[in-house]
Structure 1
């Protein structure tokens, strides 16, 4: 196993982690690289707790990074999904010092070209986490975007396809706009279309009727964009992708029309997406509330009680804004 070589080529002195000086980091990494599956599983769990603790990362996290990459690249390594999650946690963690931050950024940049083949890995979690790692800025943007483009439109998992499409949108490279507008086409999956629209909005690209159509159809029919799936894993690029997309339209009437169409859906996940987006939009832009009166009415009239509960939030936002106008 290649990771074993990296263990001996690394200076493990002063490799602190969340629980101490890091003297035991080498032991846990050795176990993670070993042939005993149960011991490897325990070791990876311990490493996760030590190297990414409540979102913080340490010198030991940076030193372990290339070893974890080598492990992940080994198709025979046990618990690769957990390893991928650990690598992602280290990459996006909050470093204890600026030096650790730069060391992790450098390790991520070196690993990016090597990780690209894992965008087609048979393990779903590995593909999902590597897609997000690939979309982060590393200095390999052209290479990363090319790999994401090649995979996004044929990725069988809708959520991962959305992550990949969003990753393309985050990099200002040649032909980005043309590719994103092409990804709006109805022949693509709802997840790809929704992510392309979010990317167009995020990049400040021209808003067209095609984008509006894609947003409405994607969120109305894209099951993966609604409910527990997106709520549990997110796109990783946004906590409120629909609200962010509609805000970028800068057209409250059109945004309200989309929210209304969604909230009238008999599918409860779709209706909730419309209601949540309306609440998020009005929290950020309360001046738009007159356009959302019909949305509030549709939410209040919905057959599902948990959808109707959002009417209280919409009413509160409307009342607060009217109060502000009265005070002036």
Structure 2
């Protein structure tokens, strides 16, 4: 904890106000009391990473967390690494999958809003607010901004990201930690720093040569794909022949990413076909092990990878996505269904509704059948329903169920057919 008292924590902010309680929580992580350690870690998650938001105190906590991850009590190191991961990227940032973090775009977005613009916006809100309590609250928030304890979410997230980036070289030895959970977290963390690829990739590749854990191997392979380029193809291809389905999935995921990356020369038709085949196999029979990527949603990750390869084999991709849609969490289906609809029906159907059998391809048929089951529909499906309508397809669940020839399952609140 060297240097802990040198930080003016009271002048920094977190989710619940001033950050003077952080030194005690950081110190408690290193204590002998297990309950106190767990409580401190829970408090830190809530304070400096609250529902995805990072605060002015967040980057100042990072160097101490990095030291604890390296040398703190073994039971807490996995959780501390998880906190460092979340201080780097949250679930919104990670949705750049399958391409990884677009750090150039992130830095550009963070630079858009200046402090002067933020303060001017609050001045306008304060002047226009008739309610005394709300106006006073706005004044308090403005004062926090002016003191540097609050900032635009993109900018505050980037400060934390860069703080972790500065510690990353020192954290790479954790790729060789005796605990598989720590090795997994270290590999996952390293996957999100493309600006450090030259340092990170050799460490990941070295670990792959000796790694014996299926989950750690898969995590490393995906990380290599997110950071690397087509020159690593020969490293990744042998893992397509692995016995474990999770490792084959990870190798295919990595190859899909480097093969579809902007400026890539491509994998070649045979290898691309092999990658798509492995991904569609995994879509039909998802590996059972847990992963960190995409919040643990392997079918969702498969669908993202497949859709990036749609130009190579649209039919296989659509069939694979259909399998994924019915297997992924419901809160992930919307974006996948919308993107896949653009692939399946890039143009509206001509001359009204086409016959389902005989006119649509197998991939189009299976995709629409999956949409009936997976949705989203109702309040969360307005965008998808609008996209279906724009392509002259049935735009309600009941209507689409009739069109694709599935029996009524009693779940449709609306039974009328509104087609096109």
**If the length of structure 1 is used for normalisation, what is the TM-score?**
0.74
Matches within 5 A, 1:214-293: 214-221=275-282, 225-226=286-287, 229=290, 233-234=293-294, 240-251=300-311, 254-260=313-319, 272=327, 279=337, 281-287=339-345, 293=361
CA distance in structure 2 between the partners assigned to 1:249 and 1:262 by the alignment: 12
Q: Does residue 73 of structure 2 align to residue 72 of structure 1?
A: no
- Residues 116 and 309 of structure 1: CA distance in aligned 2, closer, same or farther (over 3 Å): same
Deviation of 1:12 (Å):
2.8
- Residues 270 and 219 of structure 1: CA distance in aligned 2, closer, same or farther (over 3 Å): farther
- Residues 105 and 299 of structure 1: CA distance in aligned 2, closer, same or farther (over 3 Å): closer
Matches within 5 A, 1:113-262: 113-137=169-193, 139-152=195-208, 155-171=211-227, 176-185=229-238, 186-188=240-242, 189-204=247-262, 205=264, 206-208=266-268, 209-221=270-282, 225-226=286-287, 229=290, 233-234=293-294, 240-251=300-311, 254-260=313-319
Moved more, 16-25 or 123-132: 123-132
Measured against aligned partners, the alpha-carbon deviations of 1:51-95 in whole angstroms (never above 9, x if no partner) come to: 111111112211111111111111634322221111111122599
CA distance in structure 2 between the partners assigned to 1:311 and 1:24 by the alignment: 45
Structure richer in helix, relative to its length: 1
CA distance in structure 2 between the partners assigned to 1:312 and 1:38 by the alignment: 41
Structure 1 unmatched ranges of 5 or more: none
Residues 91 and 105 in structure 1, CA contact (< 8 A), matched pair in contact too? yes
Moved more, 190-199 or 286-295: 286-295
- Residues 245 and 166 of structure 1: CA distance in aligned 2, closer, same or farther (over 3 Å): same
Residues 163 and 235 in structure 1, CA contact (< 8 A), matched pair in contact too? no
Q: Secondary structure in 1 aligned to 2:82?
A: helix
Residues 53 and 157 in structure 2, CA contact (< 8 A), matched pair in contact too? no
**If the length of structure 2 is used for normalisation, what is the TM-score?**
0.60
Structure 2 unmatched ranges of 5 or more: 94-109, 111-149, 350-358, 378-383, 395-420
Over the aligned positions, Cα root-mean-square deviation in angstroms equals 4.2
